[in-house]
Amino acid sequence: MKRSCVLFLSVLLMLSAASMGFAAYPEKTIQGYIMWGAGGGTDNFARAITPLVEKHLGGSIVLQNKVGASGALATTLVVNSAGDGYSLLYGAENPANYRVLGLSPLSFHDLEPITVAVEGAVVICVNPETPYKTMKDLVEAAKESKKIRMATSGVGGLPYVAGAMMKNIHGTDFNYIQFDGDGPGATAVMGGHADVMPLALSTSVEYIRAGRLRGLAVLATKRVPQLPDLPCITEVYPEYAQYLPWGPFYGVFVKKGTPADVVAKLSDAFTKAMAEPRFEEYVRNSGGFKNGSTGAEAVKFLEKFESTASWLIFNAGGAKKSPAEFGIPEPRK
């Protein structure tokens, strides 16, 4: 009797300790790794949402920028972490292309999305002094000559993929010039050192409003509220619909295999933070759209993006390896 009583009590104690352990997440400081540098879009997103998340999570998240190899460095760190929910990855779309670009064997399949928080749209922008007034002007001119200079952020980046889309549909080819990112590229187009650049709406919206850049079309199936006069690409060329929706996004991820209740708790905290007016205002001002998907919905979103982007890069000749090697399905036409 005495022995079973002790046994019962100790089991009870263990159970309560175990449940306390779960209930206590986060019981220590969480590390947040930002895959791009200070001042960039990913960094801004991370720093805008984290203070709000901390409030709902009841723990603190220490943010640090781990820049390198298009974010593969930060991704590797998180994938190599303990998988206990104490290492978060604040990232953009890049891991979808690591494998085809030969940068890293990792991809979104090694991560568990906490949320795909914000989506953006891409606008085809030109220098206002160029003669291209509409998307048709640009496409026709590009078909005739290969001398139009398109600024990109390097092979596999968003502008490159948008260029690949145009190549697949119209057979156009540009003279690509690589810059250090969206911002420096936009600066170069404004200075006339490149003619055209597909730019994230967040980077370009203020320049377009001020007339420093001319927007030709937004790569989306409907117009964006930030620039209501700007036609969407499917109004001009309906054939783009096969690749859309496609665009930049920012999300938060943990290592695959992180306990489900931890993931749920994090997702819950991020969902609450995204609902705050302060965050919604930030998203609106920065030219983005709230996505906010979690769980299976987020996984589906990531798979669709991976399929579109990696096949476009492959068909444009920018890939080291075929997406088929990794079992990435070709997008449905």
What is the rounded distance in angstroms from the CA atom of residue 187 to the CA atom of residue 193? 9
Stretch that binds another protein, among 3-11, 163-171, 179-187, 265-273 (CB under 8 A): 179-187
41-58 burial code (b ≥16 CB/10 A, e <16): bbbbbbbbbbebbbebbe
The structure tokens listed for 113 are 């999305």
Strand ranges of the sheet holding 87-91, from the earlier edge strand across to the other edge: 61-65, 30-34, 87-91, 249-255, 111-120, 288-293
Residues that bind another protein (rule: CB under 8 A) add up to a total of 56
Closer to another protein at the Cβ: 154 or 295?
154
Angle, CA 54 vertex, CA 84 and CA 113 arms, to 5°: 45
Site for another protein in 193-222 (CB under 8 A): 193-194, 205-207, 209-212
Q: Is 321 in the site for another protein (CB under 8 A)?
A: no
Measured distance between the N- and C-terminal CA atoms of the chain, rounded to whole angstroms:
71
> Is 304 in a helix, a strand, or coil?
helix
Q: Is 67 in the site for another protein (CB under 8 A)?
A: yes
Q: Is 119 in the site for another protein (CB under 8 A)?
A: no
Candidate list 30, 36, 57, 70; residue touching another protein; CB under 8 A: 70
- Total residue count of the chain as it appears in this document: 333
Candidate list 180, 239, 261, 330; residue touching another protein; CB under 8 A: 180
Question: Cβ 121 to another protein, closest distance in Å?
Answer: 17
Q: Is 233 in the site for another protein (CB under 8 A)?
A: no
Q: Is 50 in the site for another protein (CB under 8 A)?
A: yes
Q: Is 227 in the site for another protein (CB under 8 A)?
A: no
Closer to another protein at the Cβ: 184 or 238?
184
H helix and E strand count, the chain: 12, 11
What is the rounded distance in angstroms from the CA atom of residue 23 to the CA atom of residue 80? 25
Site for another protein in 251-290 (CB under 8 A): 278, 281-282, 285-286
DSSP state of 248: -
Contact set with another protein (CB under 8 A)? 38-40, 43-44, 47-48, 50-51, 63-70, 72-73, 76, 101, 103-104, 147, 149, 154-156, 175-180, 183-184, 186-188, 190-194, 205-207, 209-212, 278, 281-282, 285-286
